């Protein structure tokens, strides 16, 4: 039996039960194996579709911006996989659009009891043991399925994101970020990463915060207030995501 990982959610009991029924239908699908991958839309929930539309929306905003994509807080890697597919669709020969993901793959290393209000604790939002190796196989598939497959255009970096980011930028000082996706939820790593990327973004760069103005995870917003302030940039929202907000550097 697979390990159950508890996460914070706002679903009603009825919604949870409905999703469980859908999961059982998926597990017992009568769709033949050779057709399942092309028919996953049968099982996508409203929330999942909204997520995909949001990722698509922000990706399109960087099509004419030079630079790479970085996600901080990868977890299962859905966003990274979507970014791989969008790159193949919109800019298949842009081998300079590298996609890189930073994650502990062990959940939160620590939390700030004052800034994060005690809603989170160390170890929350972990993944199954060794998952990063599995995710690399998924990303390798997307590389092989897309043009210029002989050039590796993604990287997964395991460890404390701020520490690994500083190391990466020291070794790759030419780095420009076109898209930054911050999904670490808590204050300290978000703040440290915001400080580290400041010299590596350009006009047109998009900075996304996955939980903004959200009382259950206040750390991201507090980090933004302290590093950049709220009066210097317009914070956009999307119809596809109630919590995420993003800044376009102008």
The predicted-structure confidence for 19-48, as pLDDT tens digits, reads as follows 999 999 999 999 999 999 999 999 999 999
Beta bridge partners of 74: none
Does 60 share its domain with 168?
Answer: yes
pLDDT at 125 over 90: no
Is the pTM higher than 0.85? The answer reads: yes
| CA torsion, ordered 41, 49, 120, 215, to nearest 10 deg | -160
Query: What's the mean pLDDT in 117-129?
Result: 83
Share above pLDDT 90 across residues of the chain, in percent, rounded to a whole number: 84
pLDDT of residue 29: 97
Total tally of structural domains belonging to the chain: 2
In a domain, 151, yes or no: yes
Residue located via tokens 């009991």: 13
pLDDT at 171 over 60: yes
In a domain, 1, yes or no: no
The predicted-structure confidence for 83-102, as pLDDT tens digits, reads as follows 999 999 999 999 999 999 99
Determine the Cα–Cα distance for residues 190 and 210; give it in Å rounded to an integer. Answer: 11
According to DSSP, residue 174 is labeled: T
Does 118 share its domain with 170?
Answer: yes
CB 108 within 8 A of CB 165: no
pLDDT of residue 211: 93
Domain of 23 in residue numbering reads as: 11-43
pLDDT of residue 36: 96
């Amino acid at each position: 039996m697979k390990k159950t990982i508890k996460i914070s959610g706002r679903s009603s009991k009825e919604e949870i039960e409905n999703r469980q029924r859908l999961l059982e239908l998926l597990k017992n699908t009568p769709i033949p194996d050779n057709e399942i991958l092309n028919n996953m839309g049968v099982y996508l929930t409203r929330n999942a579709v909204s997520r995909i539309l949001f990722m698509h929306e922000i990706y399109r905003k960087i099509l004419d911006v030079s630079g790479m994509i970085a996600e901080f807080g990868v977890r299962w890697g859905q966003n990274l996989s979507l970014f791989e597919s969008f790159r193949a669709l919109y800019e298949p020969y842009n081998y300079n659009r590298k996609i890189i993901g930073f994650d502990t793959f062990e959940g939160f290393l620590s939390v700030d009891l004052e800034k994060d209000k005690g809603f989170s604790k160390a170890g929350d939002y972990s993944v199954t043991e060794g998952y990063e190796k599995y995710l690399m196989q998924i990303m390798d598939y997307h590389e092989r399925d897309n043009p210029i497959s002989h050039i590796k255009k993604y990287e997964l970096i395991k460890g404390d994101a701020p520490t690994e980011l500083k190391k990466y930028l020291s070794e790759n000082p030419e780095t420009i970020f076109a898209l930054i996706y911050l999904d670490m939820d808590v204050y300290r790593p978000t703040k440290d990463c915001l400080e580290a990327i400041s010299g590596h973004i350009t006009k047109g760069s998009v900075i996304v915060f996955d939980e903004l103005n959200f009382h259950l995870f206040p750390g991201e917003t507090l980090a933004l207030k302290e590093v950049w302030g709220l009066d210097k940039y317009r914070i956009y929202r999307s119809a596809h995501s109630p919590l995420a907000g993003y800044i376009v550097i102008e």
